Amino acid sequence: MTIALTDPRKAEPAARPAASGRFLFHGPGGTVLSQGSHAPIAPGTAETLERRLAEAFRDAGPGAVAGGALPFRRDRPDHLWRAARAGSRPLWDAPGEAAPGPVRLTSVPAPEIYADAVARAERLLRAEAGLPQGLRKIVLARTLAVASPCPIHEDALLARLVQDDSVTAFRVGLPGAGIGAGIGADGGADGGTRALVGATPELLLDKRGAAVLSHSLAGSARRHRDTERDARAAAALAGSAKDRREHAMVVEYILDTLAPLCRNLDCPDGTRLTATRSMWHLGTRIRGRLRDDTVPAAVLAARLHPTPAVCGLPPADAARQIARLEPEDRGFYAGAVGWCDARGDGAWHVAIRCAEICGSTARLFAGAGIVEGSDPWAETHETAAKFAAMLDALGLPGDAALTLAGKDA
Ligand SMILES: C=C(O[C@@H]1C=C(C(=O)O)C=C[C@H]1O)C(=O)O
């Protein structure tokens, strides 16, 4: 299903070149922009990550920082760089439109096919309910393909994304067509082919010394311009037993995974409503103190990934169902993006509310947690609402995905 959009707000295409650096994060935790000479870290999976990071830092200068992306699938290689230093030069003064129109927007798969996959997942969850190792949750995602007549301007996109100060805006260079193509020794321009750009509200793991923090989200509702309607949506989410169940699975999983690594671990604030500009979520901050504070943040993040916020429970079974029910490969969407320094301190975020940008095309991703009792069209509309932040940042109508998903949204 495709629609063509000509946005009346369309202005001149942004004039400046695309964002430089291999990785960039800007959010409540500060700004980290990779700078200076960059060296690729040999790709691999979580099992070898600690060794590969130690090698990368062995001959590095004092300010070196490693960062990049871990893929959704644990059996796929990561994409990481070691940079000479982290800077904080803001890149978001780029004027102009990120995706000058007219733009074509295609839902892949069509909304009704996604709704059908949700219905199939829900039947499976119902059939397994109560079984000791039965499936309890499956997160299903879909994509929106954006085709613009001009190259998508990443700086202009980031300039819009950073306006929401509740999220961490990010840009991470990805392996392009022909991995390694265009990769020079110096990290000015990025090999140029592909990047993951987004603004995530979800912190997988932050580590400073022995202190760790994870801010997990699950359970969602669309926000509304009308304040009363918005407050009603928030109250309904806070009171929803289905969403609380969906959320509790994520918290339980993170506590279970971190517990053996920590001296103490708790959720001091409990579960609360948390908001981005376009979505309400249930969120829980989990804080702990590590037994071994030398384990790098990236290794801890890889240990946690994929949480039931983006995969399901039990994780391996849910991942198998995702491979069966989703037509598109997730790539680095729903993986993790982040950085860490030579001491292992750093921050890793859940790679959601993002798009893979490649020249004049973008692939936007959004998923929703399916549990027993989930309604297929409600989940389809939830994913449509989750596209709004990226669509808006691209200069497109934020409700375009709701339009594509049908008039009852
Ligand atoms: C999977 C996504 O979001 C995740 C799923 C949520 C849910 O199912 O309620 C909420 C926040 C995220 O953990 C996404 O935005 O693509």
**Quick one: CA dihedral 352, 353, 358, 361, positive or negative?**
positive
Q: How far is the CA of 7 from the centre of ligand 1 (A)?
A: 28
Provide the token pair at 349.
């975020």
Q: How far is the CA of 88 from the centre of ligand 1 (A)?
A: 29
Is residue 358 in some structural domain? Answer: yes
Contact (Cβ atoms closer than 8 angstroms) between residue 345 and residue 213: no
Residues 341-373: tens digit of each pLDDT: 999 999 999 999 999 999 999 999 999 999 999
pLDDT at residue 178 is higher than 60:
no
Residues 368-391: tens digit of each pLDDT: 999 999 999 999 999 999 999 999
Q: Is residue 137 annotated as a catalytic residue, yes or no?
A: yes
Q: How far is the CA of 330 from the centre of ligand 1 (A)?
A: 14
Q: How far is the CA of 368 from the centre of ligand 1 (A)?
A: 5
Q: How far is CA 345 from CA 38, 206, 207, 255, 339, in A?
A: 19, 8, 5, 20, 8
Mutate to test the pocket of ligand 1, among 125, 237, 333, 352 (most ligand atoms within 8 A of CB): 352
Residues 231-241: tens digit of each pLDDT: 999 999 999 99
Contact (Cβ atoms closer than 8 angstroms) between residue 236 and residue 221: yes
Provide the CATH number for the domain around residue 359. Answer: 3.60.120.10
Q: How far is the CA of 218 from the centre of ligand 1 (A)?
A: 6
Indicate which residue of 137, 326, 382, 386 is catalytic. 137
- HSE toward the beta carbon, residue 212, CA cutoff 13 A: 33
Domain count, the chain: 1
**What's the chain's average pLDDT?**
90
Is residue 103 in some structural domain? Answer: no
Q: What is this model's ipTM?
A: 0.99
Predicted model pTM: 0.93
User: Whose Cα sits closest to atom 13 in ligand 1?
Assistant: 309
Indicate which residue of 97, 122, 154, 202 is catalytic. 202
Smallest CA-to-CA distance from 284 within 317, 259, 249 is with 249
Instruction: Return the ligand 1 atom nearest residue 353 CA.
Output: 15
What residue ranges line ligand 1, CB within 6 angstroms? 139, 141, 202, 217-220, 281, 309-310, 352-353, 365-369, 386
Least trusted range by pLDDT, from 89-103, 158-172, 208-222: 89-103
Is residue 372 in some structural domain? Answer: yes
Residues 184, 181: Cα–Cα separation, whole Å:
9
Provide the token pair at 124.
């499976």
pLDDT at residue 100 is higher than 90:
no
Residues 222-273: tens digit of each pLDDT: 999 999 999 999 999 999 999 999 999 999 999 999 999 999 999 999 999 9
- Name, in order, each residue with C-beta under 8 angstroms of 91's C-beta and a sequence gap of 6 or more: 19, 20, 24, 33, 155, 158, 159
User: Whose Cα sits closest to atom 1 in ligand 1?
Assistant: 367
| Structural domain containing residue 131 | 2-98+108-405
User: Whose Cα sits closest to atom 6 in ligand 1?
Assistant: 218
Q: Provide the pLDDT for residue 96.
A: 75
Is residue 46 in some structural domain? Answer: yes
